Each structure stands twice: as structure tokens, then as C-alpha cells.
Amino acid sequence: ISLFSFLVFLRYQIYYGYPLQTYLEYPIIIAQDVILLLYILRFNGNMKQALFYAVIFCGGWYMLTLHKWIIYIAMNLCTFISAASKLVQLWCLWQIRDPGQVSALTWSMSAYTCAS
């Protein structure tokens, strides 16, 4: 879910011609999320869905700049979407009822993402 907000931020900054130094972390974060998504799909045996996600990714990338108001609305929704993704993570942990099921690497990645 948070991948959407990263895409919107990146597209917004490219669309308005910001210098590369101001948004360099977004392509790196997006690449990390895409690699993680591919690993999850691979290990769950759902690699056929990767094409669906690639089409959504490319279509969303193009549609964000069809009209100026679309990217403005998307930017305004990014904070809500990022918060919603954290709530979904907490909900999943609540259903598991055991935060020990989540590895230390996952906790540290989540803490790093929240801090950045």
C-alpha cells in the first residue's frame, strides 16, 4: 500500500522538475518494495500476479499526470494511504496475537521506514 504513496511522490517531483538530489531516495525505496513484492509472490507461488502488478504500476505512473488535478488529489491522499498501511500492519499483528512471529529484520525495516 505504501508503494503507491512512494510512486506518487516520485512522479510529482519528476513532473515538476525537482532536482534529482531532492527525491533520490524514492527510486531506491520503490526498488526495494518491488523486489520485496517479487520475493513474496515467488515464495507464495503467485508469480503470475506479477504481470498484473506491473500493469497497475505502469498504468498508474502514466495516469497520474493526465491532468494536474489528479496528481494533486493523489498527493493529498498519500498521508492517509501511508497511515492506512501502518494500520493494516498492526491489524495483521493483532490477528496473529504474537509479535514474536515477525522477525527482527522486519521490525527493524519497519522502524527504519517510519523514521525516514
Tell the residue number behind the cell numbers 525495516, with chain if given: 109
Is residue 6 in a domain? yes
The pLDDT tens digits of the residues spanning 32-46 come to 888 888 888 888 887
Give phi and psi for 46, each to the nearest 5: -115, 40
Angstrom CA distances, 111 to 42, 44, 92, stand at 25, 25, 16
Is residue 112 in a domain? no
Comparing CA positions, the residue from 42, 43, 33 lying closest to residue 1 is: 33
Could you list the residue range(s) of the whole structural domain that residue 18 is in? Answer: 1-99
**Better pLDDT: 1 or 76:** 76
Is residue 81 in a domain? yes
Is residue 56 in a domain? yes
* Nine cell digits for residue 62: 502514466
Is residue 1 in a domain? yes
Is residue 91 in a domain? yes
Count of domains forming the chain: 1
The answer, as to whether pTM is greater than 0.85, is no
